[in-house]
Amino acid sequence: MEKNPQDEGPQEQPSEGIPAPEGPANLIDTDYVIGQDNITASPMGINLDLHGKVFTFSSLVILFFVILTLAMQDQMEPIFNSMFSFLTTNMGWFFLLGANVFVILALVLIFTPMGRVRIGGANATPDFGYAGWFAMLFAAGMGIGLMFYGVSEPLGHYGTAMGGISMGEDGLRTDWAPLGGAEGDQAGAISLSMAATIFHWGLHPWGAYAIVGLSLAIFAFNKGLPLTMRSIFYPILGERVWGWPGHVIDILAVFATLFGLTTSLGIGATQAAGGLEYLFGIPSGDTTLVLLILGITLVALGSIMLGVDKGVQRLSQLNMALALLLLLFVIFVGPTLMIATGVIENLIGYVTHLPALSNPFGREDANFSQGWTAFYWAWWIAWSPFVGMFIARVSRGRTVREFLTAVLVVPTLASVVWMTAFGTTAIDQVVSSGITEVQDAALELQLFTMLEYLPLTAITSFVGIVLVIVFFITSSDSGSLVIDSITAGGKVDAPKPQRIFWALIEGALAIALLLGGGLAALQTAALTTGLPFTLVLLVGCYAIVKGLMSEPRA
């Protein structure tokens, strides 16, 4: 518990000689003052307070990539694609290994005495209630994917598992079945496909989020460092973290977050428009897409103007309520009994298949482990700075044990229930009723096609589309908050116009890329940041343990 005499903002005079805070946390002693490298200006009466280097360079990098992709789309796309396939093919083991480390550390921490450490100091009280907190964790972390993959992924794996193994001439497997497949074995194929889906949506993605979230939360709330990615590196780099090594980490985080969000916004709008066309015959042309993105951006803007508490939290709760409604509907109208028993069976199946599915070395199912698993892992890890930072921001006052349970265990169980409900219903339609339309439908329409075979289609599909849109809004608003805080040198109280700026940039880039092409290419580019961030997260693991060791336990 040290306090530095220079630990004051440049403008304040009267606070010299103030004693160190007698808080229960263990602050890191640093000369760095949050915002010391910031530049402030007020053009046209709009106040700005930005980290000079991080803001400038990340803006330039973003502009450079957008122009490059728009101007030379045909040349850039193959480059990004081959970069990414190199990553998943040759570095797949690294992603799988890293993700295992994150999960194991997070699980172990729950049961160690370090789990009693409270984020924000021993006497900190939670900023948000359980319902709002959990809704925000979930909406920021997964949301949209559950809508699209809840039906299509179990169905996809079921199809490949039933198909069994096929060998190419070079002795490599050409099939996409998980593990050894389950040729002709219906029950086995169902079990394997559900286990594989839950594997991709269970402990591992949330493990990555938990590591980033926890390390940031500890270093910001307990150690007094700014809430930005570089702070994780303090135990390794020390004061150098405030220089270029730190800038690079932050710029990378802005890059991954902005392009991750922008490209998903563009692709998501395409899918939502597809759904609207399929259901209501609204033509999904450019006009619809642009209107959708404008609408999503506007609501996100309103939400960030209202702030985390009144904006993001409420929207996330609305989101949860709608998702729960849709889930309950599918459970009760679908094969209820199968789903109920399925939850237990799939959980057992998940645990049974987990060691084989998460094994990074010597995999025979290269297509599955690289094309699916490594792809997902790169995706989750590229998103982890954004989700992790947002999770950290809203988690003050929780103990480490509470945090890990809510970020790791509860979402995993929620994924199990969700995937089982949607997956079982879809597979049951194929197996029992011989309906093949769902399997044959385009990926983004599979959910709606499945709902068509259940009652009240018009209502449920409408809820489905609304959910897709609201999930995007909740990602967009929390993302803008995160980018704003990183580019403001970790300040969360930077002037409001800045967060508006980022939300607008997101919408504008999404429209530009949608009309000009190159969305998929840039998304691939964003995914490649998964590799450096795997390293960042491994450092995060070390930082967490180091940070927690020096904290008083509640």
Partner 1 sequence: MYRKIMVPIDLAHLDVLEPSLATVADLARHYDAEICYVGVTATQPGSVARTPEEYQQKLDAFADERAKVHGQPVSTRTITSPDPVADLDDLLIDAIDDVGADLVVMPTHPPKHLDVLMPSHGGKVATHTDVSVFLVRPAKQ
Give 208-251 as a 3 state SS string: HHHHHHHHHHHHHHHCCCCCCHHHHHHHHHHHHHHCHHHHHHHH
User: What is d(CA 463, CA 135) in angstroms, rounded to the nearest whole number?
Assistant: 18
User: What is d(CA 106, CA 540) in angstroms, rounded to the nearest whole number?
Assistant: 11
Asked if 419 interacts with partner 1 (CB under 8 A), we say no
Binder to partner 1 among 83, 237, 306, 410 (CB under 8 A)?
306
How many chain residues interact with partner 1 (CB under 8 A)? 53
CB 102 within 8 A of CB 374: no
205 vs 495, beta carbon nearer partner 1: 495
204 vs 491, beta carbon nearer partner 1: 491
Question: Residue 123: what residue type?
Answer: N
Asked if 356 interacts with partner 1 (CB under 8 A), we say no
Binder to partner 1 among 80, 95, 128, 383 (CB under 8 A)?
128
110 vs 554, beta carbon nearer partner 1: 554
Please state the closest distance from residue 466 (CB atom) to partner 1, in A. Answer: 25
Asked if 34 interacts with partner 1 (CB under 8 A), we say yes
User: What is d(CA 47, CA 50) in angstroms, rounded to the nearest whole number?
Assistant: 10
CA distances to 399, 401, 457 from 553, in Å: 9, 11, 52
4 vs 174, beta carbon nearer partner 1: 4
Asked if 305 interacts with partner 1 (CB under 8 A), we say yes
25 vs 338, beta carbon nearer partner 1: 25
Question: Residue 126: what residue type?
Answer: P
Binder to partner 1 among 92, 98, 115, 120 (CB under 8 A)?
120
Stretch that binds partner 1, among 159-167, 197-205, 302-310, 352-360 (CB under 8 A): 302-310
Please state the closest distance from residue 186 (CB atom) to partner 1, in A. Answer: 50
Handedness of CA 5, 6, 9, 13 (dihedral sign): positive
User: What is d(CA 277, CA 461) in angstroms, rounded to the nearest whole number?
Assistant: 12
Stretch that binds partner 1, among 27-35, 148-156, 193-201, 465-473 (CB under 8 A): 27-35
**Burial zone of 405 (CB within 10 Å; 0-12 exposed, 13-18 middle, 19+ buried):** middle
CB atoms within 10 A of CB 541: 20
Asked if 157 interacts with partner 1 (CB under 8 A), we say no
Stretch that binds partner 1, among 10-18, 82-90, 140-148, 502-510 (CB under 8 A): 10-18
Asked if 494 interacts with partner 1 (CB under 8 A), we say yes
Asked if 12 interacts with partner 1 (CB under 8 A), we say yes
Asked if 464 interacts with partner 1 (CB under 8 A), we say no
Provide the token pair at 157.
């794996």
Handedness of CA 48, 50, 503, 222 (dihedral sign): negative
Asked if 310 interacts with partner 1 (CB under 8 A), we say yes
Please state the closest distance from residue 318 (CB atom) to partner 1, in A. Answer: 18
Stretch that binds partner 1, among 7-15, 153-161, 351-359, 502-510 (CB under 8 A): 7-15
Supply φ then ψ for residue 219, to 5 degrees: -75, -25
Through-space distance between the first and last CA atoms of the chain, rounded to whole angstroms = 17
* Residues of this chain that bind partner 1 (CB under 8 A): 3, 7-9, 11-15, 18-19, 21-23, 25, 27, 33-36, 45-46, 120-121, 127-128, 220-221, 224-227, 304-311, 393-394, 396, 481, 490-497, 499
